[in-house]
Structure 1
Amino acid sequence: MVVEVPRWSNAKMEIATKDPLNPIKQDVKKGKLRYVANLFPYKGYIWNYGAIPQTWEDPGHNDKHTGCCGDNDPIDVCEIGSKVCARGEIIRVKVLGILAMIDEGETDWKVIAINVDDPDAANYNDISDVKRLKPGYLEATVDWFRRYKVPDGKPENEFAFNAEFKDKDFAVDIIKSTHDYWKALVTKKTDGKGISCMNTTVSESPFKCDPDAAKAIVEALPPPCDSSCTVPTDVDKWFHHQKN
């Protein structure tokens, strides 16, 4: 997985699918950088959050499990290991299960996984191991995803399967299907509707570009935000919300 948001942090970082080479950028809403609220008792994100490369939740495909189309992004991952990862870090993970979230009418799968280098990784092989060894964590995960947009004035999110986690085999099947949708996308068999498929590695892709051209794009970008960029003080605010 590619880590977009380290655990306990608030900045809503994500792979910018419409930008050349798909960099990780902070989401912007109404001209302001977006931060996820601290919804009591949680501090920011409660796992290392990111995505699996070479996957795509096709907005033109109506998912048979949820009855909703994909959210037009790579498939999301919640990594539950003990290490707080760095933004942009690429880690190998063991897939354990999956949650079917429905976000504003779109299918938004959440894969549960653990870093293969975690000291306890050998003890985790399926979603049942998470229930047994990290009591309350899966319930907190559903609670977090259900309510995290409420402080922004949005309604609670919904879930397929009555918010129950599906097991590892089910999760792997979903990941494989999103990989197939991605392959159709980068080989121009599907209309990406604005997604930049520029890449340097996929030999059968008509979007493959020369590494020097890719390097020139990266070098032309403005420098990343330095220490003078301050995080708004209200990012540390606690939100208390009555559960429905």
Structure 2
Amino acid sequence: MSFSTETRGRENTQDYRLYFKNKEGKYISPFHDIPMYADETERIFHAVIEVPRWTNAKMEIATKDPLNPLKQDVKKGNLRYVRNTFPHKGYIWNYGAIPQTWEDPGHRDEDTNCCGDNDPIDICDIGHKVCCRGEIIGVKVLGALALIDEGETDWKVMVINVEDPEAKDFHGLTDIDDVRRLKPGYLEATLEWFRMYKVPDGKPENQFAFHGEFKNRDFAVKTVEDTHSFWKSLISKKCDAGEIRCLNTGVTESPFLCSSADAKAIVDSAHPCGDAEPIPGSVDNWFYYKQW
């Protein structure tokens, strides 16, 4: 399947949105309309890249906006940028989400004893390529880390782009061990990054289930598939969606299905595309943090 994007608003402002289209050029929701699997037989998943590696803008699928475009997260009225905490520059992987998944805030995970964070499940792509914002890639699941963020389970699924030249070297139950073997230090850096990335903003270190242990491929795949089942309940109105917008153009059995004309009207009502605003100079600042 092929997808494209369309920009509305001005980059680095709160009116910026990145909308998605299918191969026919019709608007879709990246949350609901892109299949979870790129190849179910081979267990290859789709991933929506929200944040390219080395960048700082905290972009996300706008779950509360109609058609769920990408937008920059806002905190206390300000656009969010991840701090550079030495030695890490911005995000250290291509960061994104697997479509048609949902971490149900009404479901308490029996392993973490915490409920979901109300978002699609997150991925960290460790391949060589620096992806583009809004790029859709096929990924192989390698393992998972269970971040506990303000009392909620926020899974981080480690993946590799199937087009990466090293993707074939990751196989079977030992995939997470293959990461240690082929990319030494990457898992440790990932744990460190998630532990301390909020500290420069005055927040405490993040905590983890399983004492920060990365779970293996089979555990991670089951976790992704569980969140897909939660999404199925969400999109079929079998549970309370709250503020989540489930409008879609391709899930035929969904009561939230809308026409292509309605989807186009939503995008047409968005701010017109304009010149980007400059990124604040403070985004390039470095922070230093020592764990005692």
TM-score band by shorter chain is over 0.9
Paired with 2:109 and 2:245, the residues of 1 have a C-alpha distance of 23
Larger CA deviation: 163-172 vs 124-133: 124-133
The answer to whether structure 1 residue 128 and structure 2 residue 174 are counterparts is: no
Offset of residue 225 of structure 1: 5.3
Structure 2: give runs of 5+ residues left out of the alignment. Answer: 1-46
Matched with 2:278 is: 230
Residue 161 of structure 2, aligned match among 104, 110, 115: 115
Partner amino acid, structure 2, of 1:55: T
Residue 84 of structure 2, aligned match among 34, 38, 49: 38
Partner amino acid, structure 2, of 1:234: S
Q: Secondary structure at the match of 2:115?
A: coil
Paired with 2:282 and 2:245, the residues of 1 have a C-alpha distance of 34
Paired with 1:31 and 1:74, the residues of 2 have a C-alpha distance of 23
Q: Deviations over 1:134-181 (max 9, x none)?
A: 000000000000000001111100001110100000000000000000
Residue 97 of structure 2, aligned match among 48, 51, 59: 51
Matched with 2:117 is: 71
Paired with 2:282 and 2:97, the residues of 1 have a C-alpha distance of 27
**Structure 2-normalised TM-score?**
0.82
Residue 18 of structure 1, aligned match among 40, 52, 64: 64
% of aligned pairs identical? Answer: 68
Offset of residue 120 of structure 1: 1.1
Paired with 1:16 and 1:48, the residues of 2 have a C-alpha distance of 18
The answer to whether structure 1 residue 198 and structure 2 residue 247 are counterparts is: yes
Partner amino acid, structure 2, of 1:108: D
Q: Deviations over 1:162-215 (max 9, x none)?
A: 101000000000000000000000000010111000000111100000011101
Matched with 1:137 is: 186
Segments of 4+ moved more than 6 angstroms? none
Offset of residue 10 of structure 1: 0.1
Structure 1: give runs of 5+ residues left out of the alignment. Answer: none
Paired with 2:82 and 2:270, the residues of 1 have a C-alpha distance of 26
Paired with 1:157 and 1:110, the residues of 2 have a C-alpha distance of 13
Q: Secondary structure at the match of 2:137?
A: coil
Q: Secondary structure at the match of 1:91?
A: strand
Offset of residue 226 of structure 1: 2.1
The answer to whether structure 1 residue 175 and structure 2 residue 224 are counterparts is: yes
The answer to whether structure 1 residue 218 and structure 2 residue 267 are counterparts is: yes
Partner amino acid, structure 1, of 2:190: T
Q: Secondary structure at the match of 1:130?
A: helix
The 3 A distance-change label for structure 1 pair 111 and 225 is: farther
Offset of residue 224 of structure 1: 4.2
**Structure 1-normalised TM-score?**
0.98
Paired with 2:264 and 2:279, the residues of 1 have a C-alpha distance of 30
Matched with 2:151 is: 105
Paired with 1:10 and 1:194, the residues of 2 have a C-alpha distance of 27
The CA RMSD over aligned residues, in Å, is: 0.8
Q: Deviations over 1:30-81 (max 9, x none)?
A: 1111000001000000000000000000000011111110000000000000
Partner amino acid, structure 1, of 2:89: K
Larger CA deviation: 92-101 vs 214-223: 214-223
Paired with 1:225 and 1:121, the residues of 2 have a C-alpha distance of 38
